[in-house]
Chains A and B, each alone.
Chain A
Amino acid sequence: MKLQNMIVIFSIIVRPITLILSAYIGVQIDTAMLVQQYDTRLMRATHDAVTAFELNTLNNKYSTNADSLRRDIKASVNTFSSSLASSFGMQGSHITTMMSYIPALVFTMYDGYYIYSPHQYNYETVGEQKTGYEHILKPYIHYTARYQNSGNDIVVNYSLDNYITIYGKLGGQYISYSGYLIDITEGKVKLENDKVVGYTIRRYYN
């Protein structure tokens, strides 16, 4: 067979294979780029929501009041939704349009968290029971744990640093303590007459 014939046959076989492979790889690249774009838009919307929250609480002397805090968080959620809508070129979209794609927003505070997530409700229309979903800001949830065994029933409130509050019944007596949790494992604290006189703080990075 002549060389030209073989070259033509080779080109006819190899070229479609390379076209299909490059199209497949092109789709993979486009997918990775789209994922990265979406991640960037989500991070930008989160950044704007946190900025709005910070600016709102800074300008509000009642910001630690529970009602005011809930209001600031709802305003922050609106900002998140507006920023996300702007990123996707859907400026002016109602908050429900964007939030239907967001499962939940969690605002972690010093001693608890708020969740903004869908809530199922039942309603009746024309004699028919229906179910609907609506995003609402759920009540504040503290970082709390309850420990029970025979004779003891205590509740511990944790916070983002080592400050804890303990209250409940310990050995039949009602107790209420609060303070910073110190690990008294040997080598970490210096004890004299059962009192802590020095301690080593170690930070563990994962």
Chain B
Amino acid sequence: MGDTLITIVAIFLAAILMFVFPLMTISERNDDIAQMAAQTATVEFVDDIRQTGRITQDKYDSYVQTLAATGNSYDVELEVRVLDENPGKKTSLTSTDKIGENIYYSEYTSQIIDKINSSSTKSMKLKEGDFINVSVKNTNTTIGQMLKNFFYSISGNDTYKIEASHSGVVMTNGSER
């Protein structure tokens, strides 16, 4: 009886050691690779917008496709903080284009997408001094998350595993092409 019990425990341990833990390690590495790919794509997307001053439908679709190629589904959040053209200070030396002095108002994902769709050139122009902020989080449960949750789960946490964000000042006025 004792021999049988120890044999069963040994088989169980062998199964876990040979299959489950390597699978957990590989799936966590996959998540890390997906994280790097998402961060790289986000940085390229934001830097392109900062250098050209335009958000186009093509660029956005290409960015979303690159993210989807990692095998996960993502929630993309765009925010443009537009430099208000009304001077922020009521003095005789006000300037409408000084970056860092005037107030900003924000436009978010749905407003930006609406503007792009309703524009004849399928793009949204930004101006020098505006801020662009893009963040992306995964919405599906990755294999790594599933395996981790099987063994332990942290309550109130772990809703996303892959997160990437990038932001910066737009360096040029976008032009109609």
**A residues with CB within 8 A of B:** 2, 4-5, 7-8, 11, 15, 44, 47-48, 51-52, 55-56, 59-60, 71-72, 74-79, 82-83, 86-87, 89, 91-92
Task: Tell me whether A86 and B131 are in contact (CB under 8 A).
Answer: yes
Total B residues in contact with A, Cβ cutoff 8 Å? 30
Q: Is the interface of B mostly helix, strand, loop or mixed?
A: mixed
Q: Is the interface of A mostly helix, strand, loop or mixed?
A: helix
Measured CA separation A55–B53 after assembly (Å):
14
Contact A79 B100 (CB under 8 A): yes
Residue of A nearest to B7 (CB): A4
> Is B59 on the interface with A (CB-CB < 8 A)?
no
Kindly list chain B residues whose C-beta atoms are within 8 Å of the C-beta of A5.
6
- Name the B residues within 8 Å of A75 (CB-CB): 98-101
Contacts of A48 in B (CB 8 A): 168-169
Would you mind naming 11 contact pairs between A and B with Cβ atoms under 8 Å apart? Answer: A2-B6, A4-B7, A4-B10, A5-B6, A7-B13, A7-B14, A52-B100, A52-B169, A71-B93, A79-B169, A83-B167
Min C-beta distance of B11 to chain A, whole Å: 9
- Asked if B84 is at the interface (CB within 8 A of a chain A CB), the reply is no
Set of chain A residues within 8 Å of B3, measured between Cβ atoms: 2, 4
Q: Are B17 and A86 within 8 A (Cβ)?
A: no
| Pairwise interchain contact B131-A82, C-beta atoms closer than 8 A | yes
